[in-house]
Structure 1
Amino acid sequence: MNFTTNDPVYTVGSLTRELKNLVENKYRFIKVQGEISSLKVPFSGHSYFTLKDESAQLKAVLFKGSARYIEQDLSDGQKVVCHGRLSIYEPRGDYQLIVDSVDFQGAGLLQQRFEKLKNKLAQEGLFSAERKKELTKFPKEIVILT
């Protein structure tokens, strides 16, 4: 390595501030696709989670004020596209995605809609034992639908 006496010497704080300015100016509007893991929602109502793919992970936060505009609840294992901005938290030097909105991808959205419908129908009593009919021992006809 070729260091010269003219190379600047950074403090940890000054380097972190410079990186924060670079990152936050370049990635003000960004979409990131990944799978939600390690979801935590403390009493504050903010959602802290990790976005992962097969090669990397990124910390993310969805603040309570933005969360009310999200069409469904977040949960571990959902595939999503998060819209937001990158930020560096100076005291720790951590970078994270501050999420403004979420597009749910694939089975995550379908699974939640299915569970919601199933719960609604169960509350209406449509799955209760009293409503079930016993099958005949020897059916006379069989219908195949394709």
Structure 2
Amino acid sequence: MDEDETDAYALCPSDGISNSDACYWIVPKGLNEAAVLNMCKAHNGTLASIPNQAVSNFITNNLRSVLTNLTYLYAAILIGVNDKHTEGRYMNYEGELQNWTNWDAGYPGGGSSYNCVKILPAFGNKWHDDDCFVETPGVCYFKCR
């Protein structure tokens, strides 16, 4: 394990998961978007954008037991993608355009009142847009390098 990997694992909460590029951790309680983001920042991270299918699979497969337990209480998991600044233009919390998406059929569909994006495990981990004030758990992201 090189120094970067050691630092990455040190940044990752004990119940998070790491690959060679990042750590992901579920904020395991229902909070609104601002509160989840603050929890991520408290651990030196941000809300997780999902750049591709491989990362989506990594997160949902490795956090399956956490996601399954949480979905008994919550139907959705907040991720770091939103269109708060420009309707229909989805950005991540690092200010980059979200190029890869995993929308469920008919989504996004909430108009200007639904600006946050959530994964719905019961719908094959597809994405839905939702109100940012609806309390759900969220996925945090920590850079390894």
Using the size of structure 1 for normalisation, the TM-score is 0.26
Using the size of structure 2 for normalisation, the TM-score is 0.26
Q: Using CA pairs below 8 Å that are at least 6 residues apart, which structure has the higher relative contact order?
A: 2
Q: Which has the larger radius of gyration?
A: 1
